[in-house]
Structure formats: C-alpha cells, structure tokens
C-alpha cells in the first residue's frame, strides 16, 4: 500500500457528482470570474463598475470539520467535498515574449499567452486567505494608480487588489482562494506597441471590455490526485455513492472516500 504524505490540504465543496467527474477526467480545477460568484458586490471596485470580471477564483477552506451551512448552501446536502494538497497545480517554464532572455515559471502554460483578449497577469503566489472586513476601502479598492515619468503622468491598474477581501457577513465560509487575473488584451497587440500596453489595458478596463471567457482551468499534478480525499454529503444518494466509487476506480484508485459524520433527517 502506498504511504500517503502528511501534507496540509484545502477542501472544496462541489454542487454535484458530475462536477467531480469533470475534475477527475480532465484533471483540472475551474476558476470562475468574480462576476459569477455568490457575493455580487465583488464585481465592482471604487473606480470601475465591472473590474471583478478580470479576477478568476477557485474557493476552498482549510477547515477539516464539516459545516452544515456550507453543505446546505453549496451542495443541498447531497454533493461531495474534496480535499487536495495545497497548490496542487502544474507549473510551466517559458521565455517571456515581452522580454527576451527572461525566464518565467507560472501556472499558466505558454500556449495560453496567445489567446485572443485574455492575457494573464503572472504572479508567483496565487493562494490567498480571504480577509473578512467591513472596511469599504478594502471591499471596494481604488485600482487606478498614477505614475510619473519625467514630465509625463501615466497610470496603471492594480487589478490584483481584487478577490482578497469579503464582507464580514461571509466570515462563516472561512475561505481560501486561488486567484488568477486576466486583462482584456491580446499578446499580439502588446507586441506591436509595447510602450502603449499599460495605457491600452487601462482604457479597456475603464470601458468594461470583456475578457474572452468567464472561466479558466488549472491542471492538477498527477501525484496530487493520488492524495485526493472525498467526503460524501450527509444526504448523498446511494446510487451516487456507487457512481462515486466507480469514478475513483477509473481515474484515481488511490483516493480515499469518507462518509459524513453528520446525521440529518
């Protein structure tokens, strides 16, 4: 029997067994635009009404204990919850197309740099613990920042201020998030006139130009699927329980399946 590593992990609640089937078959985790999350207020910043569409999130928790509100709110008591090691995603190394000789390591594969109107902001750390607050300046940050170059004043968008703070009313979620940011611009346009890149990004954000898609998928490392733990909801259907066992036998036979400790009528 393979020995499982004692690594800290995070858990995510899924709506349906079909969502888990897609994760296992494709070996990916989906990140959604903030315009599609449960808190509608996350779409806006202080200076842009729809800036949240450029922030993509996958929501998890570090809590090992079951939460009745979370089961009820996100799975109707009949879904599953999965647990994976922290940062279970593939990383890729490629040369920066904007700066020859500069090597970048990222969760984004090089081929995805060339998508139309969907350019990623590369960050080393994509996992963040959500801060719960009633501070309006954190909930609705100013993203536009002015910078002076000699006698000229320009500005750029600090899009990575988004997705890290939520209203204190959501504190029961105890949420951690994987965050990615995409700008509504194409690499080919940036390469044509690199000096105008920041200006064009700012103009497109100000004009609420949409990115090419509302979600993005990160690839899970093979060895991390071997450490997958699946917790069944309190009211999971017996047939779904059988289907779950079949799924794991096909895609991740080393996964551990656990039943809920809650007994709910």
Instruction: Judge whether 254 and 229 are in contact, CB under 8 Å.
Output: no
Smallest CA-to-CA distance from 225 within 3, 19, 23, 10 is with 23
User: Is 209 contained in some domain?
Assistant: yes
Helix spans in the chain (H): 17-26, 68-75, 136-139, 187-192, 197-206, 222-225, 238-251
Query: What pLDDT score does 265 carry?
Result: 75
Structural domains counted in the chain: 1
User: Is 192 contained in some domain?
Assistant: yes
Condensed to tens digits (0 to 9), the pLDDT of residues 134-159 reads 999 999 999 998 766 666 566 779 99
Cα(46)–Cα(175) distance, integer angstroms:
23
Query: What pLDDT score does 253 carry?
Result: 96
User: Is 21 contained in some domain?
Assistant: yes
The domain of 190 spans 9-88+123-258
Which run of H or of E encompasses 155?
A: strand 152-157
Query: What pLDDT score does 106 carry?
Result: 96
C-alpha distances (whole Å) from 239 to each of 81, 141, 243, 247 are: 17, 47, 6, 12
Mean pLDDT value of segment 23-30:
96
Query: What pLDDT score does 5 carry?
Result: 44
Query: What pLDDT score does 4 carry?
Result: 46
Say whether pLDDT at 41 is over 70: yes
Task: Please give the residue that has the higher pLDDT: either 49 or 264.
Answer: 49
pTM: 0.90
Task: Name the least confident of 14-18, 184-188, 259-263.
Answer: 14-18
User: Is 39 contained in some domain?
Assistant: yes
Cα(165)–Cα(203) distance, integer angstroms:
25
User: Is 263 contained in some domain?
Assistant: no
Mean pLDDT value of segment 39-58:
96
Mean pLDDT value of segment 95-102:
90
Q: What token pair was written down for 256?
A: 């551990």
User: Is 153 contained in some domain?
Assistant: yes
User: Is 151 contained in some domain?
Assistant: yes
User: Is 37 contained in some domain?
Assistant: yes
């Amino acid at each position: 029997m393979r020995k499982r590593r004692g690594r800290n992990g995070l858990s995510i609640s899924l709506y349906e067994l079909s969502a888990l089937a897609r994760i296992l078959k494709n070996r990916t985790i989906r990140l959604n635009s903030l315009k599609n999350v449960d808190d509608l207020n996350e779409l806006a910043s202080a200076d842009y009404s729809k800036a949240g569409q450029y922030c993509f999130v996958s929501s998890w928790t570090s809590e090992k204990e079951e939460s009745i509100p979370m089961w009820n709110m996100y799975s109707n008591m009949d879904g599953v919850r999965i647990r994976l090691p922290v940062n279970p995603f593939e990383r890729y190394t490629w040369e920066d197309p904007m700066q020859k000789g500069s090597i970048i390591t990222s969760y984004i594969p090089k081929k995805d740099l060339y998508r139309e109107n969907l350019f990623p902001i590369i960050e080393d750390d994509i996992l963040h613990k959500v801060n719960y607050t009633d501070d309006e300046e954190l909930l609705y940050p100013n993203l536009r920042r002015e910078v002076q170059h000699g006698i000229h004043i320009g500005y750029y968008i600090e899009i990575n201020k988004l997705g890290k703070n939520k209203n204190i009313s959501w504190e029961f979620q105890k949420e951690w998030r994987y965050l990615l940011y995409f700008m509504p611009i194409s690499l080919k346009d940036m390469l044509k006139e690199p000096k105008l890149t920041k200006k064009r990004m700012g103009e497109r954000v100000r004009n609420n130009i949409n990115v090419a898609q509302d979600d993005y998928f990160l690839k899970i490392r093979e060895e991390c699927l071997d450490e997958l733990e699946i917790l069944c909801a309190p009211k999971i259907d017996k047939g779904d329980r059988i289907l779950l066992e079949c799924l794991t036998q096909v895609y991740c036979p080393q996964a551990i399946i656990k039943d809920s400790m809650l007994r709910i009528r």
